[in-house]
Amino acid sequence: EAGWRELRGKLEEIVVNHAGGPIPFDRVVFEMATKGEAGCSLVSDSALQAAIRSAMIEHLGAKGDLDEISPGQPLRLKLMSALLRDAGDPDWQVLLDAQRGLPVGIKVYEEQTSWKLEMGPADVAKAWKANYESAAEHIDYVREHFDAEVAEGLMLKLDEDAFWRRYGDEAALSAIAVLVDEGPPQKKRVIHDASHEVMLNHRIRCLDKVRSPRAREKRYLLRFLKDHRCAALSVTGDISKAHRRFRHSPDEWGYLGRKASDSDAFVYVNCVGTFRVASAGYWWSRISGGGIRLMHHITGRRLLELLLYADDLKAVAGDRAGRRGIVISYASLAALGFPFKWAKTCGGFVVEWVGFETAYSSFKLGLSQRRAEWLIRWCMDVATSARTTWSDFSRALGRLGFGANALSWERPFLGPMYSWSAATRGKHGSLTAPVMIRVILRWLAERFQEGGRLQEPMTLTEASGNVELTFFSGAKAEDGRAYVGGYLWNGHEVLSWYAAEVLPSWAPWAFIKNDPQRTTASLELLGTLLCVKLWGSRMSGRSRSTGSITGATDNQGNTYAVTKLMSTKYALPILLMELSETLRLGSIFLDLRWVFRERNQWADDLTNGEFGHFPMDK
């Protein structure tokens, strides 16, 4: 609309003038990326922020105190809500709810009688749980931290008797623990256990699933930026105490009580969002999501993307207008009350964000150097010693699984590791890692050492079905025998084909369950693998590889297994590992699609020994 175009132009003019002109303004984004807090002097300037808010209020033409900040939180929720409503955003109302105070989630519904909760019939939510040992070990830090939050208005400090009188049965004292990150630098974090014994999280039911941007979105952006030949740059920022930047409804504060020490005669009561309470991330995502969408309304159509993962913001720009949009976005978010830690602002052409490293010069994504080095050490230690514990293995596997979101080719190698972790779950003491696990760990460590920690994302899947070359494959198992077959099709004729009987001498996994009919999905994937081996390079030379397989019973699941490059069901992981390496070495992307059995009849004919449609010279 004309009004929003005028607002965008006015906001950019305000920021340009405060920067001292167009040329200094264009330098700001590079200063933010390289100078930390010193480079953020423009976007953190209170006079600039006030001018931005004045322009926003003038655009709305509304009366009333839109610049108001409700107690206990820093955001200008009324102004954000009014702007989002004016832009037609569907979630503007939640910001007004946040102005009054958002529910913790315990009293949102009637007594939890009809909900299927994670509580057994004999489970009873207790009103109190003792703190963990780590809280006593760091008691001075805990007291100092709690008193600082009371002074900031984030918590109340009450005598314990007064606490129980005020909140009665609608109260709980949760245990706390202190987690120490050795760094450097060393950091301590107080953890509020809202699950064990008090069972607060068991009684909270958030309405929606929260989804955060991670490697999947990064891969898409990198491919887009590369395809459009953009000179991309990124600036990351950190929002201070993000999950504590909204206020809860006072009638549920009692559920958020805790003590610094079990022997204390007073209680600290959280008035705001609390980390490790189930609803904290949900409400923050609603509020911060509104802020991010508002920035896209304010900056308009330009090569700019804003990604927010919890409290970590990443702004990516593909051209000069996008880089200007980064500065405008940070300044506008700060003007609306988002409390950035300016000293942690950084960026450039190689950027680390939530454990992933992005190299915009080569358009590659992967693990950060620090995370990769840790994984290399751990993988080699277990591969060499063959000894580990279940808890240590599961923690490291969690890190590998997180990293595999960015490392597509390594993902299938985690399947056997997940299976072994599940088989040894809860076992105590030292465990002997199987040979297969040790081989995989050594292979992963060598891949990371040789530069495999960064990878170029796969080609984007196109919606068009006009593909020059397509292969079709099928498999059959009956009477204790198994067959696979496939052919290459150009839309008019068969270019090449194969048919083979699967024998125990070279595929013993197909007969490990005595009946090959019980490994049909693996046989189907073997047919796909053979097609890629035979024709992958030929197909990728003319178009991206595309295959279709018979869709019957569990066979359709192979399309999902290939898309994810992950399975824990033997023998699929073995075939997926081979398929992944074949695709990686050939720089091939496989778009495996499911088709009805009737459309795949020719492939079935090959498995049945019927060759009438297939020239013998091909």
pLDDT value at residue 563: 67
CA separation for the pair 352, 343 (Å, rounded): 16
* Tokens representing residue 139 in the block: 């008691």
Position 199 in a domain: no
pLDDT value at residue 548: 35
- Does residue 437 share a domain with residue 499? no
Position 524 in a domain: yes
- Does residue 528 share a domain with residue 485? yes
Distance of CA 172 to the CA centre of its chain: 32
| Structural domain total, the chain | 2
pLDDT tens, residue by residue, 198-236: 999 988 888 788 888 988 899 899 999 998 999 999 999
pLDDT value at residue 490: 85
* DSSP code string of 276-315: TSHHHHHHHHHHHHHHHHHHHHHH-SSSEEEEEETTEEEE
Position 334 in a domain: no
End position of a domain, from candidates 455, 490, 509: 455
Q: What is the percent of the chain with per-residue pLDDT over 90, rounded to a whole number? A: 63
pLDDT tens, residue by residue, 475-486: 998 888 999 999
pLDDT band for position 83 (cuts 50, 70, 90): very high
Q: What is the percent of the chain with per-residue pLDDT over 70, rounded to a whole number? A: 90
Backbone angles phi, psi at 203, to 5 degrees: -105, 0
Model's pTM, two decimal places?
Answer: 0.84
Position 141 in a domain: no
**Through-space distance between the first and last CA atoms of the chain, rounded to whole angstroms:** 61
End position of a domain, from candidates 430, 455, 480: 455
Position 33 in a domain: no
Mean pLDDT of 90-97: 93
- Does residue 497 share a domain with residue 386? no
* Tokens representing residue 288 in the block: 């911060």
In one letter, which amino acid is 389? T
- Does residue 599 share a domain with residue 476? yes
Cβ(127)–Cβ(172) below 8 Å:
yes
CA separation for the pair 43, 27 (Å, rounded): 13
Position 273 in a domain: no
The CATH code of the domain that includes 525 is: 3.30.420.10
Position 510 in a domain: yes
pLDDT for 25 beyond 90: yes
- Does residue 562 share a domain with residue 433? no
- Does residue 525 share a domain with residue 437? no
Find the range with the poorest average confidence among 125-129, 251-255, 257-261, 311-315.
125-129
* DSSP code string of 210-269: -----HHHHHHHHHHHHHTT---EEEEEEBTTGGGSSBBPGGGGGGGEE-SSTT-SEEEE
pLDDT value at residue 557: 65
pLDDT for 347 beyond 90: yes
- Rounded to whole angstroms, the maximal C-alpha distance in the chain is 91
Cβ(507)–Cβ(517) below 8 Å:
no
- Does residue 421 share a domain with residue 398? yes
**Residue labelled with tokens 């839109």:** 66
- Does residue 509 share a domain with residue 561? yes
- Does residue 478 share a domain with residue 435? no
pLDDT band for position 107 (cuts 50, 70, 90): low
- Does residue 564 share a domain with residue 600? yes
CA-nearest of 167, 170, 159, 388 to 268 is 159
Range of the structural domain that residue 384 is part of:
366-455
Sheet containing 350-353, strands listed edge to edge, beginning at the edge strand earlier in sequence: 350-353, 356-359, 364-367, 454-455
CB neighbour burial string for 56-71, b if at least 16 within 10 angstroms, e if fewer: bbebbeeeeebeeebe
CA separation for the pair 39, 159 (Å, rounded): 46
- Does residue 512 share a domain with residue 596? yes
Position 379 in a domain: yes
pLDDT for 94 beyond 90: yes
CA separation for the pair 154, 140 (Å, rounded): 19
End position of a domain, from candidates 420, 455, 490: 455
- Does residue 590 share a domain with residue 514? yes
